[in-house]
Structure 1
Amino acid sequence: MNIRYLSDYTIPRPSLDQGTEEQRKSVQAIIEDVRHNGDQAVKNYTAKFDGADLSSLKVEDDEMDEAVLKMDEKTWSVLNEAAANITAFHERQTQQSWMTTQENGTILGQKVTPLDAVGIYVPGGTAAYPSSVLMNAIPAQVAGVKRVVMVTPPGPDGKVPAGVLAAARLAGVREIYKIGGAQAIAALAFGTETIERVDKITGPGNIFVALAKREVFGIVDIDMIAGPSDITVLADHTAHAREVAADLLSQAEHGELSQANLVTTSPELAEAVAHEVHQQLKTLPRKEIAETAINKQSVIYVAQSLEEAVQAVNQIAPEHLEIQLENAMEAVGKIRHAGAIFVGRYSSEPIGDYFAGPNHTLPTSGTARFSSPLSVEDFVKKSSIISYSEAAFIENAEKVAHFARLEGLEAHARAVEARFSDKRR
């Protein structure tokens, strides 16, 4: 890994991958094809990109039953416990509708309503992700969404990995389609003969999925534009190099564009972690992917002080931040930009990926500067409630009319005065 001293180096501001012009045009063409040709277009792209020739897009109940039966007892137990932890955490995020009454009789409030239908995208490709099913479906269920639809690319055999289907059964998802890529996003946004359109799409994917979500935003809502996964470890001399290196590689193995950064006040730790990463890469099954991410995307930053290190972390705005300091919890208040914060030696990032309960769908590419992890709030909408009493109306009508004329909107003013003048007769 490259080691850089912050005193001599400026950290570049991360940015989302906008894709190439060729990729954007390809995604736009796929979306238009699916929009106009529905199921047949989706099947054509599934055959082209996934190598699966499907007669039916839908996962049937017997396929889900088979997936559950394939689960060994330990795996099923772990999935159940993870689901319980995720549910318990997200239940604390629920919001209630509320109203308040003022002395003049005015009633103001907010109505919280679950979305009618959401689509969750579960990536396929180089790995299967049951955790993504739980992290997207459970908060939607907790929010009270009536219809949760899952899409995920099939293998060449036309099947979805058993772990993904078992997690879906556990999370209460019953409507699942064997489609992925931009064509799946288009099907969710516009609907096909088989798939009824949804109101929001969540879940990460590759660059084509990200670009497709960008294209359909406005037709439907989306959670975020997800970029490559990243981790930053903030550490001092008390951290253990072997553990830090292992945590960095846990994200580097996601993909060649993943970032795994260390920010440390200890030059000795920097050297030791660089050595450990090199050693651990030798036996990693996804070595080629992780090695590319480490060599091309990742950096070890050495800071002269903890204050300089924290400033660097906030500039990176990592998706995952591990704090491995002598007084780790004391540093939490100084962190302004991070998707998820893992505090202390035993809070390894995979604990949050799979089991602890907080959501692992996090802002990437520095977008933690302004956005948050996926939550129950992503699956509800809010309506304001305004009920003015006659007394409140008489008290404020002239002020409202004055404000409207300040903006040159005479009809607004007259709409108020139509009632106000009647009250003064």
Structure 2
Amino acid sequence: MDFSLTAEQRQIRDTVAAFVDDEVVPRAAEIDETDEFPADLVAEMAELGLLGMPFPEEYGGAGLDYHSYAIGIEEISRGSGGLGTIVAAHTSLAGNMVYEFGDQAQKEEYLTPLAEGTDIGAFALSEAGAGSDVPAMTTKAEKREAGTASERSGGAAEKDGDEYVIDGGKLWTSNGSVADTVIVFAKTDPEAGNKGISSFVVRPEEDDGFIVEGTEHKLGDKGCPTAELRFDDLRLPAARRLGDEGEGFVQSLKTLNGGRISIAARGVGIARAAKEEAVDYATDREQFDQQIAEFQAIQHKLADMDTKIQTAKLLMHKAADLKMAGDDYIKQAAQAKLHASEVSREVANEAIQVHGGYGYTKDFPVERYYRDAKLNEIYEGTSEVLRNTIAQRML
């Protein structure tokens, strides 16, 4: 068992860390305040290859292993939780759906621009009545006879059954209002339960009937737009379906399972940032004629922070290792995401405590870390659902 990083992994870590320190950290408070999508920073990340880290070079990706990808997300999230979500949702969810379940033509047409970063991806699964309960979704994709050539956007008339019409809506779609490619899940057979769900590639700029209803005003995760989407008679050719009909539910579970490693990485990154701020403040702040870092109570807090972060990193890399080996990693991914999520909140909370009253103000970034950390316990599998998953794998 080797815990050391390879030369390539160290290079990735150092490259991303330098970018984050130079470009992201100075902008983080502004991004949090304005909640505007940082298109320029995303473009810079694309130039560095950070939007296609785990995808093969033949599709425009960087061809990195999953350890390197997790390290990259960790560093990005250390600078901005919102940027961490932007990259994770784009890569682990949208991009990975096309990579894992798309055919060769779909990968060439849709994955390549995602991996290169010229397109931004989103993953539209959740609905108002279908969060953890995915099969409760009401969005439908009805197979119909395609229209005539004049009714479609170019090309000859299609054959019967090669077109889907999607109606419904989605909530909590990260990147949803800025995405060029959105993976949409809908029921192709409403009577078949979880076996009646299929997934589709939607191109908002090309497809009439794709409507952004608005974006959420969130506690944290600023800079990453979380959109409410509506589909009104949205017509797609059958070539936009990923895999066979009825495979969407299983596809979503597999994709979210891998995505949990990236959310664990986001949690580790935020926790690291909070711990580092706490250490800096504790060695700078003086009370009773000494640095507060000299008080045992503060030292214990710092020791617990670092220990929790180290355990979260180990769980994250354990899950990544199993995924790379092609082994079952469902339980390990759930454990990594669960633990890192709770650690990020706990460490951010203690960082605020170390700062005292200052920690409760926007003069210091620890309150932002706390707000960003809380999301980790909710999206891509709540902590309660993950505990169910872990117990079910045990039993």
Compute the TM-score of the two structures, normalised by the length of structure 2: 0.26
Kindly indicate which of the two structures has a greater share of residues assigned to helix. Answer: 2
Structure of greater Rg: 1
TM-score normalised by length of structure 1? 0.25
